[in-house]
A = this chain, B = another copy of it.
């Protein structure tokens, strides 16, 4: 694959922003990415924006021109992409295709979500639109219930990893303490995490990710354009990407303890990048629930199926471990602004590969991976990045 460079990144602090509009969130993160790249706005050829469900939560669709107007970008083509929690990565994927096709040289890619102003029941309804409404949501399914089923099945096929799931949450909060953009910067003992109230057995409170407002943007440039930009920062390229799907309904899947969309996307991404799982120095993986993180690290080939929990117990996935996972704090502690999540993952990997992650900087950060999942693993985008 022709290389594409990530020449700018920007994000808001993730959290509750009752006083800020979608426009505000987009304006802050988008302008940060543009300023980070040091380019003129007039150079931007197109805008791709991921948003999951502001149509329902804010009465606002048509996010493409909203964002281009908020950012003062004139007349450029825009598109909103949606694939549930993978909406942001789909914007990145479409921008990649646009640059690779030769249609664009510089593309701004963003994601945004505003959720916390709505009552919990409304947020639950909004999120339920990421599953099959007719066959699942209307029958009473919720996302915690779906992932709880996966966890129970995982316990049955392998072993009970409830304690290791708690350790995932513990690590996430430890990492989030070091991330100024994280929503929940609090330390919790493993005991507190493990004794928290049940949400959907076996998932308890700390097994679930957060409800978050926020935006994240990245600026992509074709290799030749990136060559002309002198930012003084380490250049980060996207060297491989995979995108795959699976059935929307849980019942139609052949397996729920490993995700075929993740496996297919990983195979594509590794093949294109010319690297393997062992070459990945750090990864942001989609921890909508702690069990999801464990399954994802197995599907990515970091650990054998059924062994993801062991790796967590051994400290391998912690910040100073051999394979640090979610150094940002992940969806669990940094937050899960749905449409922005995939791009906030990219933000973290680029920050680490540039060596700009401050207190949470890991020692060796040359090749990183972002794994973003939508729905009950019905959409997956995986992106491999490398510093040079």
Contacts and interface: CB of A to CB of B under 8 A. Distances in A.
Interface in A127-164: 128-134, 137-138
Interface in A28-79: 47, 52-53, 55-56, 58-66, 68-69, 75-79
A252 B70 CA distance: 11
Given A53-B61, A58-B133, A375-B65, A264 B75 contact: yes
B102 A133 contact: no
A374 interface: yes
Nearest to A135: B23
- Which of A47, A77, A378 has the most C-beta atoms of chain B within 10 angstroms of its own C-beta? A77
Given A81-B81, A97-B97, A244 B133 contact: no
Interface stretch (A82-90, A173-181, A193-201): A82-90
Query: Taking the full assembly, how many copies of this chain does it contain?
Result: 2
B55 A129 contact: yes
Contact of A82 (B82, B131, B261): B82
A53 B252 CA distance: 25
B94 A62 contact: no
A125 interface: yes
A317 interface: no
Interface string A232-243: 000000000001
- Which of A69, A76, A261 has the most C-beta atoms of chain B within 10 angstroms of its own C-beta? A69
A311 to B, nearest CB: 27
A253 to B, nearest CB: 10
Contacts of A244: 75-77
A62 B101 contact: no
Contacts of A63: 82
B130 A75 contact: no
Contact of A379 (B21, B56, B78, B138): B78
A343 to B, nearest CB: 15
A77 B129 contact: no
A80 interface: yes
A93 interface: yes
Given A82-B80, A83-B80, A378 B62 contact: yes
A316 interface: no
A379 B65 contact: yes
- Which of A83, A130, A249 has the most C-beta atoms of chain B within 10 angstroms of its own C-beta? A83
A77 to B, nearest CB: 4
Contacts of A226: none
Q: How large is the interface on A (under 10, 10 to 19, 20 to 34, 35 or more residues)?
A: 35 or more
A22 to B, nearest CB: 8
A131 B375 contact: no
Nearest to A125: B59
B77 A248 contact: no
A301 interface: no
Contacts of A315: none
A375 B69 CA distance: 14
B246 A75 contact: yes
B83 A62 contact: yes
Contact of A75 (B53, B93, B261): B261
A355 interface: no
A264 B77 CA distance: 10
B98 A68 contact: no
Contacts of A55: 53, 55-56, 82, 126, 129
- Which of A78, A81, A125, A243 has the most C-beta atoms of chain B within 10 angstroms of its own C-beta? A78
Given A60-B132, A65-B375, 6 more contacts: A53-B55, A61-B129, A77-B379, A80-B81, A80-B82, A94-B94
